Amino acid sequence: MVKKINETEKSSDSMFNAGEESVMVLFNDEVNTFDYVIENLIEVCHHEPQQAEQCAFITHYKGKCDIKSGSLTTLKLMKDILIERGLSVNIQ
């Protein structure tokens, strides 16, 4: 038997759709140094040095910064690495 799913059930099943663009946000943690954050944004997120530096400063002064947008699959891999390295990130 096939169950027909209505639109509200579809949206509540998963917060994200792998085909939609998501955003990864870096949060200020008052623990990691600017250099450490910049280094990780370059390595993991493939930022240019200037972009990584700007994201680090925005995060410091505003409390958070959108650091990467893309598919949920791609961002999830990067998020897991950044969390392992001690950065506070979330996908929205």
Name the residue ranges covered by the structural domains of the chain.
32-92
**Length of the chain measured in residues:** 92
| Model pTM score | 0.78
Per residue in 33-59, pLDDT (tens digit) is: 999 999 999 999 999 999 999 999 999
Q: Do the beta carbons of residue 36 and residue 77 sit within 8 Å?
A: no
> Other C-beta atoms within 10 Å of 16: how many?
15
Q: Which residue has the tokens 């950044």?
A: 82
Model confidence band, residue 88 (pLDDT cutoffs 50, 70, 90)? very high
